[in-house]
Each structure stands twice: as structure tokens, then as C-alpha cells.
Amino acid sequence: MQKMVTIENSKEMANFPKCRGVKAYMDVYWTLDHTRMVGVLNAQVPELALKNKPISETGYHICPAFRDYFHNVYGWKAMYDYSLEKSVDGNEYLYNARNQDIWEYYIRSVDEQVITIYQAISFVTDSPSLKVSQEHPYFEDNKFTSSCYVIPGTIDIGKYYRCLDFAFRIKENHSRAAFDAGDIIYYLRFHTPEKINFKQYFMSDKLREYDIMIQEIKASVASSPRPLSFFYDKYKKFNLKSKVMKEIKKNLI
């Protein structure tokens, strides 16, 4: 059977210039908290956004600007079928999934149709700094992207440890958010020329405590929003990074 030619394995890409003069890779540690969602062993390692995209007849896949833009952009796949639909009276959303404990969610605004799903997913690095952006998966065509768009954000996972939120807005003239298991529901952009080496670990009680401590700092200043640098400074002041990384390396898979 002939192998399908995709953007990532095309002949043109084999000859595409590689980044030179940089470290071979950067370690990124990731986990899902099994106390907050079920079936965490079903999670898949993020995959490059262009991994299985077909070659375009227009040849845009060999454009340097396009390639640079998608460097270190990974897709996160949904673990389960999921839907959230506005009720007939329009005052609430009705949640439907195979298991009602799969995800916690918060309706930020019924009128604006802004929703946050708490996924209990964490990414962190032992490198001094690595910014990661959560972005709309604009190169995907599925149930979710047809009716919703992701609200983006960027944090430095070398200076901060917390679970990612998955915030999105349901588009006008739509009343339902849905995705199937295996659908890419958002992109993760790692802002570095180095390759990403993912290492999975199990969440522990001690790591959960550190996460709660950080979230409590956030909650304590909720009435007076602070820049991310405020939280980075707290993280550094109390030497939380070395404590977090020490515990993570004890629980590598």
C-alpha cells in the first residue's frame, strides 16, 4: 500500500533548511490529573499540527513563511466525544458526554456564549524559560471549529506551573459546542527554535499541593488583576520550580 504523502513527509520538506546552531531539543513535561478527570491514560502525546495534512496543489507548504509559522505548533486531541448545548429557554447549557465526570466546566457568560473547560492538563519545562501559546486550531475542519473558536493565551512554562484552561466562544448563530474523540481542539505553540521532547509523568499529591498554592495566589488578587510577571516572581521567590521539577522527575512514566 502506497504511503500517503503529507506536508511533513514530502520530498520538498526533506530538503528544507533546518535550524542550525541550537540545542537539539527542549524537554517539556506533561500530565493529566486523574483525580479531576477519568481515563487519563487515553491521552495522546501532542502531535505536530502539520503531521497528517495533505500536500496542497498550490505549493504553499514549501513557503518559508508558512513553515516558520507552524514550527513547533502541536495539536491537542480530544479524549472523548463531548457536547454542550444551550437549553430551549436559553438560560443554561446542557452537558452531554459518555461520563459526566470527564470534565469540569464553567459558563462564563450565557449571553456571550463564553465557556471554560477545566482539563487538568499541565505542561512545564526545566529550562529557564519557554513561552507556550494556546491557540485556535485554524487548520482543522471538525465539529468544534465549525461552531466555536478558542480564546488564546500565552504563559511561560519555565516560570509558572498550573493546569491549562480550555476557554472558547460559541459563534453567533450557533448554540452548541461539540467534538469527537480524536479531534484536534486547540493548538499549542512552543516559542523556541529547538525541537520539543515530551516526557509524561503522573500527578502526585505533592504536585497537586503546589498547584493549589499557586491558584490561591491568583484567587487572592482576583479583584485587582496582576500581570503574569507578578505570578512568575512569586513562583521564583518561593523556589517552587525546583520543588516542582524534583517531584516530577520522581514520577516520570
Tens-digit pLDDT profile for residues 64-83: 999 899 999 999 999 888 88
Tens of pLDDT, residues 20-54? 444 589 999 999 998 887 778 888 999 999 988 88
CA angle 175–109–178, rounded 5-degree value: 35
* pLDDT for the residue numbered 5: 55
For residues 130 and 151, what is the distance between their CA atoms, to the nearest angstrom?
Answer: 20
CA angle 247–252–253, rounded 5-degree value: 155
For residues 74 and 180, what is the distance between their CA atoms, to the nearest angstrom?
Answer: 18
Q: What is the pTM of this model?
A: 0.86
For residues 115 and 124, what is the distance between their CA atoms, to the nearest angstrom?
Answer: 25
Tens of pLDDT, residues 114-133? 999 888 899 999 999 999 99
Average pLDDT score, the chain: 86
For residues 43 and 62, what is the distance between their CA atoms, to the nearest angstrom?
Answer: 31
182: left (phi over 0), alpha (psi -120 to 50) or beta: left
Give the three-state DSSP class for 134: strand
Helix, strand, coil abundance in the chain, percent, nearest 5: 25, 35, 45
CATH class of 29-203: mainly beta
Name the grid cell of 91: 438560560
